[in-house]
A and B are shown apart, each in its own frame.
Chain A
Amino acid sequence: MAKQYETVIGLEVHVELATRTKIFCGCSTAFGGAPNTHTCPVCTGMPGSLPVLNRQVVNYAIAVGLATNCSITQYCKFDRKNYFYPDNPQNYQISQLYLPICTNGRVEIETQDGKKSVGIHEIHMEEDAGKLIHDEWEDCSLVDYNRSGVPLIEIVSEPDMRSAEEVIAYLEKLRMLIQYLGASDCKLNEGSMRADVNLSVREAGAKEFGTRTEMKNLNSFRAITHAIEGERERQIELLEAGQQVIQETRRWDDAKEYSYAMRSKEDAQDYRYFPDPDLVPVYISDEWIEEIRAGLPEFREEKMRRYRESFDIPEYDIGILTDSKHLADLFEETVAVCNQPKKVSNWLMGETLRLLRERNMDAGDIRFSPDNLAKLISLTDSRAINSSVAKEVFEVMFEENVDPERYVEEKGLKTVNDEGALRETIEKVLAQNPQSVEDYRNGKEKAIGFLVGQTMKAMKGKADPAAVNGILKELL
Chain B
Amino acid sequence: MRRKPYGQKGMVVAMDILSYTAAGLAAAIKEGRTTAVEAMEAALARIDTAEKDINAYITVDREGALRAAAAAQEKIERGELTGPLAGVPAAVKDNLCTAGMRTTCASKILENFVPAFSAEAVLNLERAGAVVIGKTNMDEFAMGSTTETSAYGETRNPRNPAHVPGGSSGGSAAAVAAGECFFALGSDTGGSIRQPAGFCGVVGMKPTYGTVSRYGLIAYGSSLDQIGPLARDVTDCAVILEAIASHDGKDSTSVERTDTHFTEALVADVKGMKIGIPRDYFGEGLDPAVKDAVLAAAKRLERNGAVVEEFDLSLVEYAIPTYYTIAAAEASSNLERFDGIKYGYRAAEAGGLHEMYKKTRSEGFGAEVKRRIMLGSFVLSSGYYDAYYLKALKVKAMIKKAFDEAFAKYDVILGPVAPTTAPRLGESLSDPLKMYLGDIYTIAVNLAGLPAISVPCGQDAQGLPIGLQLIADSFQEKKLFRAAYSHETFERMEG
Q: Report A's interface with B, CB cutoff 8 A.
A: 41, 44-53, 80, 82, 84, 86, 89-92, 143, 270, 272-274, 277-280
Do A272 and B217 touch across chains, with their CB atoms under 8 A apart? no
The residues of A that contact B252 with a CB separation of less than 8 Å are 50-53, 278-280
State whether B253 touches A280 (Cβ < 8 A): yes
A80–B329 alpha-carbon span in the complex (Å): 11
Beta-carbon contact of A278 and B253 below 8 Å: yes
Q: For B218, B221, B336, B385, which residue has the most chain A Cβ atoms within 10 angstroms?
A: B336
A44 to B339, CA, bound (A): 13
Nearest 4 pairs between A and B by C-beta?
A91-B336, A272-B380, A277-B223, A277-B222
A47 touches B218 (CB 8 A): yes
B110 interface hit (Cβ, 8 Å):
yes
Known contacts A47-B113, A272-B380; decide if A52 and B333 are in contact (CB<8 Å): no
Q: A49, A51, A143: which has the most chain B beta carbons within 10 Å?
A: A49
CB-CB < 8 A to A278: which residues of B? 219, 222, 252-253
User: Assuming A47-B113, A52-B251, A278-B219, what are 7 further A-B pairs, CB within 8 angstroms?
Assistant: A41-B117, A45-B337, A46-B117, A48-B218, A50-B250, A272-B380, A278-B252
Q: Nearest Cβ distance between residue B447 and chain A, in whole angstroms?
A: 13
Interchain CB contact under 8 A, A89 and B337 = yes
**Which positions 215-256 of chain B face chain A at CB distance < 8 Å?**
215-219, 221-223, 249-253
B282 at the interface (CB under 8 A from A): no
Decide if the interface of chain A is mainly helix, strand, loop or mixed: loop
| Distance to closest chain A CB from B318 (angstroms) | 20
Known contacts A277-B223, A280-B253; decide if A46 and B339 are in contact (CB<8 Å). Answer: no
Closest chain B residue, CB of each to CB of A86: B341
Interfacial chain B residues near A51, Cβ < 8 Å:
252
Provide the residues of chain A in CB contact with B336, threshold 8 Å: 82, 84, 90-92
Interface centre among A47, A50, A84, A274 (most CB of B within 10 A): A47
Partner of B115, one of A47, A84, A273, A280: A47
How far apart are the CA atoms of A230 and B292 in the complex, in Å?
A: 80
- Which residues does chain A contribute within 8 Å of B110, judged by CB atoms? 47
Residue in B117, B223, B341 with the greatest tally of chain A CB atoms within 10 Å: B341
Question: Complex Cα distance A247/B459, Å?
Answer: 66
Q: Does B461 contact A (CB under 8 A)?
A: no
A214: min CB distance to chain B, Å: 18
Q: Is B33 an interface residue (CB 8 A)?
A: no
List residues of chain A with CB within 8 A of the CB of B103: 47
Is B381 close to A, CB under 8 A? Answer: yes
Q: Looking at the complex, which one of B330, B332, B343, B382 makes contact with A277 (CB distance below 8 Å)?
A: B330
CA distance A234 to B216 in the complex (A): 53
B215 is contacted by which of A48, A86, A272, A277 (Cβ under 8 Å)?
A: A48
Whether A44 pairs with B342 at a CB distance below 8 angstroms is: yes
How many Å lie between the Cα of A405 and that of B103 in the bound state?
65
Asked if B436 lies at the interface with its beta carbon under 8 angstroms from chain A, I say no
Cα A273 to Cα B217 in complex, Å, equals 23
Asked whether B341 lies within 8 Å of A50 as measured between CB atoms, the reply is no
Q: Enumerate chain B residues within 8 angstroms of A279, measured Cβ to Cβ.
A: 252
Report the Cα distance A228→B219, complex, angstroms: 45
Q: Which residues of B contact A143 (CB under 8 A)?
A: 341
Q: In the bound complex, how far is the Cα of B336 from the Cα of A51, in angstroms?
A: 16
Complex Cα gap A445–B382 (Å): 85
Residues in chain A near residue B96, CB distance under 8 A: 48
- Cα A273 to Cα B332 with chains together (Å): 12
Partner of A48, one of B97, B339, B377: B97
Q: Can you name the residue of chain A whose Cβ is closest to the Cβ of B217?
A: A48
Shortest B391–chain A CB gap in Å is 13
Residue numbers in A under 8 Å from B339 (CB-CB): 84, 86, 91
Q: List 19 A-B contacts (CB under 8 A).
A: A41-B117, A45-B342, A46-B115, A47-B338, A47-B343, A50-B252, A84-B339, A84-B354, A84-B357, A86-B341, A91-B336, A270-B381, A272-B333, A273-B385, A274-B329, A274-B330, A274-B389, A277-B223, A279-B252
Across-interface contacts of A84 in B (CB, < 8 A): 336, 339, 354, 357
Report how far A84 CA is from B97 CA in the complex, Å. Answer: 24
Contact B337 A47 (CB under 8 A): yes
Does A50 lie within 8 Å of B251, measured CB to CB?
yes
Residue contact A52 to B250, C-beta cutoff 8 Å: yes
Report the Cα distance A80→B105, complex, angstroms.
Answer: 23
> Which B residues are within 8 Å of any A CB, using their own CB?
96-97, 103, 105, 110, 113, 115-117, 119, 214-219, 221-223, 249-253, 329-330, 332-333, 336-339, 341-343, 353-354, 357, 377, 380-382, 385, 389
Query: What residue in chain B is nearest A272 (Cβ atoms)?
Result: B380
Find chain A residues with CB under 8 A from B329 CB.
274
A284 CB, min distance to chain B CBs, angstroms:
16
* CA–CA, A143 and B339, complex, Å: 14
Q: How far is the CB of B358 from chain A (nearest CB, A)?
A: 10
Query: Separation in Å of the A132 CB from the closest CB of chain B?
Result: 10
- The residue on B at minimum CB distance from A25 is B250
> B342 to A272, Cβ gap below 8 A?
no
Q: Which residue of A lies closest to B218 (CB)?
A: A47
Across-interface contacts of B333 in A (CB, < 8 A) = 80, 82, 92, 272, 274
Q: In the assembled complex, which residues on chain B have CB atoms less than 8 Å from the CB atom of A46?
A: 115-117, 342-343
CA distance A226 to B190 in the complex (A): 57
Residues of A within 8 A of B215 (CB): 48-50
Q: What B residues does A270 contact at CB under 8 A?
A: 381-382
Report how far A274 CA is from B354 CA in the complex, Å.
24
Task: Determine the chain B residues whose CB is within 8 A of the CB of A91 once the complex forms.
Answer: 336-337, 339
B380 closest partner in A (C-beta): A272
Query: Once the chains are docked, how many angstroms separate the CA of A273 from the CA of B357?
Result: 21
Interface centre among B329, B330, B338, B389 (most CB of A within 10 A): B330
CB distance from B209 to the nearest CB of A (A): 11
Q: Is the CB of A89 within 8 A of B342?
A: yes
Contact B119 A41 (CB under 8 A): no
The listed residue with most A CB atoms (<10 A of its CB), out of B251, B332, B337, is B337
Query: Closest approach, in angstroms, between the C-beta of B348 and any C-beta of chain A?
Result: 15
| Interchain nearest-CB distance for A383 vs B (Å) | 62
Q: Once the chains are docked, how many angstroms separate the CA of A48 from the CA of B329?
A: 18
Tell me, in angstroms, the Cα distance from A90 to B334 when the chains sit together: 8
A86 to B337, CA, bound (A): 10
A277 vs B380: C-alpha distance when bound (angstroms):
14
Please report the C-alpha to C-alpha distance between residue A117 and residue B339 in the assembled complex, in whole angstroms: 46
Q: Which residue of B lies closest to A274 (CB)?
A: B380
A101 to chain B minimum Cβ distance, whole angstroms, is: 17
Q: CA–CA, A92 to B338, complex, Å? A: 12
Report B196 CB to chain A, min CB distance, Å: 22
Report Cα–Cα, A274/B329, bound state, in Å. 9
B339, B353, B377 — most chain A CB neighbours (10 Å): B339
Give the shortest distance, in Å, between A363 (CB) and chain B (any CB): 38
Contact A47 B353, beta carbon cutoff 8 Å:
no
- Chain A residues with CB under 8 Å of B115's CB are 46-48
* B337 touching A272, Cβ below 8 Å: no
- Closest A residue to B335 by beta carbon equals A91
CA distance A84 to B337 in the complex (A): 9
A52 engages B249 (CB within 8 Å): yes
Residues of A within 8 A of B219 (CB): 48, 278
Whether B223 lies near A86 (C-beta < 8 A) is no
B232 to chain A, nearest CB (A): 28
With both beta carbons as reference points, the residue of chain A lying nearest to B390 in the complex is identified as A274
Q: In the complex, what distance in Å separates the CA atom of A46 from the CA atom of B343? A: 9
Is B119's CB under 8 angstroms from A48's CB?
yes
CB distance from A90 to the nearest CB of B (A): 5
Q: In the bound complex, what is the Cα–Cα distance between A246 and B114 (angstroms)?
A: 48
Contact residues in B for A52 (Cβ distance below 8 Å): 249-252
CA distance A280 to B214 in the complex (A): 14
Report the minimum CB–CB distance from A466 to chain B (whole Å). Answer: 67
Minimum Cβ distance to chain B for residue A261 (Å): 19
CB within 8 Å for A86 and B249 given contacts A44-B342, A48-B215, A92-B333:
no
A362 to B342, CA, bound (A): 38
Closest approach, in angstroms, between the C-beta of B140 and any C-beta of chain A?
Answer: 14
Docked complex Cα distance between A75 and B311 (Å): 36
CA distance A92 to B119 in the complex (A): 22
Partner of B214, one of A50, A89, A272, A274: A50
